Amino acid sequence: MTRIDAGFGYPLGFVATSATTVGSVSANATEHHLRSLAALAVVVCAISLVTRARAGLGTATVAWALHSGFVLGRSGEIVFTDEAGIAAMVLACAGVSGILKPAAQRCVRWWKGESGRKTWGFAQVWPSPGH
């Protein structure tokens, strides 16, 4: 699957997290912060899986700022509470999922011997799992 370039992926993530935050606030997520965080984590994970790493991590940063400012803070000012710190860790993990997916796919291909690795001379860069 071709990944979306960061030049388009980051604005896509910005729009998606903004829409999710507006929807969460209008659905009264300000009283149930975990619901908003879960919705944002799903959006960040989805964006990071289809875009490049920079766009995924940028989307996680914007999602945290929106969650901290409009769900936890309610006035648009970013708050630095324990709950905001937990939200930052959850969203960062969701953003990193886009980095881990290609690495996991490469490991699976390597294990199956289907990696199509480059060779220099007669030596492979990585040994096959059967050797």
Domain boundaries defined on the chain: 6-124
Mean pLDDT of the chain: 84
Q: What is the pLDDT of residues 85-125, one digit of tens each?
A: 999 999 999 999 888 877 787 788 878 877 555 544 445 55
This prediction has a pTM of 0.77
- The candidate with the shortest Cα–Cα distance to 36, out of 81, 9, 74, 82, is 74
- As a whole number, mean pLDDT of residues 39-57 equals 91
